[in-house]
Structure 1
Amino acid sequence: MNLPKKFEDRMMELLKEEFPLYKKTFEDTRYGGIRVNTLKISTEEFEKICPFEIRKIPWIPNGYFYNLSDQPAKHPYYYAGLYYIQEPSAMTPASILEIEEGDKVLDLCAAPGGKSTELAAKLNGTGILVTNDISNSRAKALLKNVELYGIRNAVITNEDSVKLKKFFPEFFDKILVDAPCSGEGMFRKDATIVKNWENQGVEYYSELQKEIILNAADMLKPGGMLLYSTCTFSPEENEATIEHLLNERPDFSIEEIPMKEGFATGRPEWINGREDLKRCVRLWPHKIEGEGHFLALLRKKKDSLIEATEDRYIGKKVKLPEEFYEFLKDINFDFDEDRFVLREDKIYYNPDVNIPDKGIRIIRGGFFLGEIKKKRFEPSQSFAMGLSKVDFNNIIDLDSKENDVIKYLKCETIELNKEHKNGWYLICVEGYPLGWGKVIGQTLKNKYQAGWRWL
């Protein structure tokens, strides 16, 4: 790869004797990574059934390297949401941010959703995840991944940080800001990023990041934690952004990040900055098996004068069509009926936390269960993906090695080899839900979401 001379000269200046080692990484093959979705399967179980060769990523508890010759996105387990394909270094921010069950969590710059899916797995169905992206097209990709990975407690928004701050002042326990950046750490992975770097430059992103991180800081509760990350090397976008936050919001401090093999400290000397910036972490492609990344973990000082407020969901029971309740007879877990919401014939299940429902662009508010069509209930794809095999009475379980599972994922009708009672079935691959089907005699009418079909 021909790197821009301006970039190469700057990296030589920063890295000095390490620069040849960094430059040599462009001759190496990049690393492929998958992260196991622990909402659906444990790492131990995944290792038993994984259909291709993997090895552990040392610094990610549920992360694995895979051979680039394999195609994990072309296996039914991917369509079941058992794993997310993600560059190994990019797994680090969500792994480091400690999430407790019941937390209110914000992923501010979330699309396409890799970090959000891990944050949701840590929440384990409790609390709330507000996952946001300013781009409408990218927010739609984020929606698909939230649904594919079986997340039931998410609200997906499409706003800028200035607008969100007005609606969520000091609201969140944890915030992840994977900020838009110049992408220097991903040059090896994607050569098109180099052109963006030449067009936009470091300065553009540096100013944008300073605005975003201050808005994020104002949405964090006292005592809360904020994880800032980028996939760039530029100190103006990294240490300088953190120093800007500390200067503007003196109630923040930098927390230690546990150092793993290959991790490097922040470099305050590159901006003539404060000594505690060394607590930040840099991931370099010549030191780990991954691309470039920067991370800073920050805590907001706890203010004991602020009183805790009641923020659990307070709703009123709505009258829903009988067809919906008839369908629920085959569901094997209890819903809190006060959290059902009916919007234009669509039924949602709200997270157990109050959030604003007007004034901000919400792509998806809560767990979408399905819709009423001509006096019948049609369950949604997201409803299927948010269930486990034991949650529904009627199951058809397909073998990942047989052709029927591919036919199902291609939205084709399947002829069954034995009689089933008529009605709705949760279609699984070896026990992991893929979607819905409706049986009539020995014919399975395919209800897999057309926009997700196997291509």
Structure 2
Amino acid sequence: MNLPAAFEEKMKSLLGTEEYEDYLRCFDEPRYYGLRVNTAKISVKEFLKISPWPLEPVPWIRNGFYYDGESCHPARHPYYFAGLYYLQEPSAMTPADRLPISPGDRVLDVCAAPGGKATELGARLCGEGVLAANDLSSSRAKGLLKNLELFGIGNVLVLSEEPGKLIPYFREYFDKILIDAPCSGEGMFRKDRKMIRAWEEHGPEFFSKMQKSIVTQAAQMLRPGGMMLYSTCTFSPEENEQTVEYLLKEYPEFSLCEMEGYEGFCPGIADAALTPDAALEKTVRIFPHRMKGEGHFVALLKKGDVGPACEEFPPVRTYERRQYKKPLPEELSDFLKLVRRPLDPSRIDIRAERAYYMPEDLPDLSGVRFLRTGLLLGELKKNRFEPSQALAMNLKKEEFANTVDLSADDGRVIRYLKGETLDLSDLVSQKEKGWYLVCVDGYPLGFGKLGGQTLKNKYLPGWRWQSV
């Protein structure tokens, strides 16, 4: 393993010569593969009953597991397409796990793509409150949106803005904020050797300036009493303890909190700050030679009472829903009769022939670049309504009147995921027709429209199973 000389010297200083040798030896070990259960769809206990592969618990993550990445291929199984789990490096599961989320919270994931943290935050909201998931890159935000929809998360805003632009819309709005900041990636060198070349092009100093800007912008969007978690996948003190130190100096109302521990966690390094501070030992460092995962840094902070200057900020403008002055379109009303879940008609918003089910108590988002606000119910077309893939994933089997439930080993599941028409003559009578929710072992995959005993496939083309 050819590591940059400057990096080696820094790590020797950070760890000491003897422990640095232990760190080097971890590069001869295989990387670890992780799977995180989507508890919004299935409990850990129930998933372990149906898991097609042997799993080993990640001991510090309640719903995290290791799997053998050489022999198992979870991304090529129908359960993946049902959104029952997310594939994520085990240490990277830590930030979202350690940010305390309660149903009903307003939550912001500042740098959210591709969705590893946002999907867990959304799952723990249990459909209540709102998750705002932001990524500056619009192309990455598209992947983020897909992962959130796959997980069945509907109370969502997917934004693509520079975080500073969000402040006027969300000042002191959020209860919880997660910042998994762009970083130099030193903790990922073993997992992805290309990160070494990227480090040589843009090292810690480049990212440190960006991180300080992001944390101070996010601080203004957190309500007093709210909690913020800052994390990186690097070892650099400039990007870790010193970034936290900068936030505490700029916003002294913030304080560091203790986190739920684990025997492999290392405390943050008080002397790594420009001004040594014992409180920084409340932060957590994860080293790959001490735990079965890659490198990470995590800091949990709480915002106390704000100063008088903050009271001068204008209040956040409330979103005024563009409600219909007349009943909902008949084709939409007829379809919603199939949905066995109470829906508040005042939260249905129709824009450009698309119907959305909006989260409650949103600010006015006029002028913000976003990919999605709320749950896309579907599209109003000439004399008909086409339900969305997002709605299918948001529903549970028992929440839709008509369902087709296939076992994972039924060949029709893969044919459905490929977009093919299905023969259901063994499951339905010729008199049955209309919209059906297609499920695998009781978990929704998407919609189809039945005519006779043939199901016309409505699985979203961009999500379809690709042959290897």
3-state SS of 1:48 partner: helix
TM-superposed CA distance for 1:140, in Å, is: 0.3
- The corresponding residue for 1:10 is 10
- The corresponding residue for 1:435 is 446
Which of the residues 158, 161, 164 maps onto 1:162?
164
CA–CA separation in structure 2 for the residues paired with 1:154 and 1:429: 25
CA–CA separation in structure 1 for the residues paired with 2:319 and 2:138: 27
Query: Is the 2:176–2:222 Cα contact (8 Å) retained in structure 1?
Result: yes
Q: Which ranges of 4 or more aligned residues in structure 1 deviate by more than 4 Å?
A: 303-307, 309-314
1:393 equivalent in alignment to 2:401: yes
Residue correspondence of structure 1 range 81-120 to structure 2 within 5 A: 81-120=83-122
AA in 2 matched with 1:330 = L
1:67-124, Cα deviation, whole Å (9 max, x unpaired): 1120000000000000000000000000000011111100000000010111111110
TM-superposed CA distance for 1:317, in Å, is: 3.8
- The corresponding residue for 1:408 is 416
TM-superposed CA distance for 1:417, in Å, is: 2.8
- The corresponding residue for 2:281 is 278
CA–CA separation in structure 1 for the residues paired with 2:228 and 2:122: 16
Which of the residues 350, 354, 362 maps onto 1:342?
350
- Of residues 417-426 and 387-396 in structure 1, the stretch that sits farther from structure 2 once superposed is 417-426
CA–CA separation in structure 2 for the residues paired with 1:61 and 1:311: 38
TM-score after normalising by structure 2:
0.94
Query: Is the 1:316–1:338 Cα contact (8 Å) retained in structure 2?
Result: no
- Of residues 352-361 and 34-43 in structure 1, the stretch that sits farther from structure 2 once superposed is 352-361
Which of the residues 450, 456, 461 maps onto 1:445?
456
Query: Is the 2:168–2:316 Cα contact (8 Å) retained in structure 1?
Result: no
1:314-352, Cα deviation, whole Å (9 max, x unpaired): 646424310010001111011110010111000001001
Residue correspondence of structure 1 range 317-328 to structure 2 within 5 A: 317-318=323-324, 319=326, 320-328=328-336
AA in 1 matched with 2:51 = C
1:395-436, Cα deviation, whole Å (9 max, x unpaired): 000110121100000001111133340111000001000000
TM-score after normalising by structure 1:
0.97
Query: Is the 1:317–1:337 Cα contact (8 Å) retained in structure 2?
Result: no
Query: Is the 1:186–1:231 Cα contact (8 Å) retained in structure 2?
Result: yes
Aligned length: 454
Which of the residues 290, 305, 310 maps onto 1:302?
305
- The corresponding residue for 1:292 is 295
- The corresponding residue for 1:73 is 75
Aligned-residue RMSD, C-alpha? 1.6
TM-superposed CA distance for 1:311, in Å, is: 9.3
AA in 1 matched with 2:305 = K
1:1-49, Cα deviation, whole Å (9 max, x unpaired): 3212221121112111210111111100111001000100000000000
3-state SS of 1:331 partner: coil
TM-superposed CA distance for 1:356, in Å, is: 2.0
Identical pairs, percent: 54
AA in 1 matched with 2:233 = C
Q: Any gaps of 5 or more consecutive residues in structure 1?
A: none
1:353-405, Cα deviation, whole Å (9 max, x unpaired): 22223111011010001001112100000010000000001000011012110
CA–CA separation in structure 2 for the residues paired with 1:259 and 1:35: 19
- The corresponding residue for 2:220 is 218
- The corresponding residue for 1:382 is 390
1:247-293, Cα deviation, whole Å (9 max, x unpaired): 11111101111221100000121234211111100001011100000
CA–CA separation in structure 1 for the residues paired with 2:293 and 2:93: 10
Query: Is the 1:111–1:133 Cα contact (8 Å) retained in structure 2?
Result: yes
TM-superposed CA distance for 1:304, in Å, is: 10
3-state SS of 1:210 partner: helix
1:136-169, Cα deviation, whole Å (9 max, x unpaired): 1100000000100000100000001110112111
AA in 2 matched with 1:37 = N
- Change beyond 3 A, Cα 1:431–1:297: same
1:266 equivalent in alignment to 2:268: yes
CA–CA separation in structure 1 for the residues paired with 2:205 and 2:168: 27
Query: Is the 2:155–2:374 Cα contact (8 Å) retained in structure 1?
Result: yes
CA–CA separation in structure 1 for the residues paired with 2:149 and 2:460: 11
CA–CA separation in structure 2 for the residues paired with 1:23 and 1:165: 43
AA in 2 matched with 1:441 = G
CA–CA separation in structure 1 for the residues paired with 2:425 and 2:67: 36
Which of the residues 343, 360, 364 maps onto 1:356?
364
Query: Is the 2:449–2:456 Cα contact (8 Å) retained in structure 1?
Result: yes
- Change beyond 3 A, Cα 1:310–1:208: closer
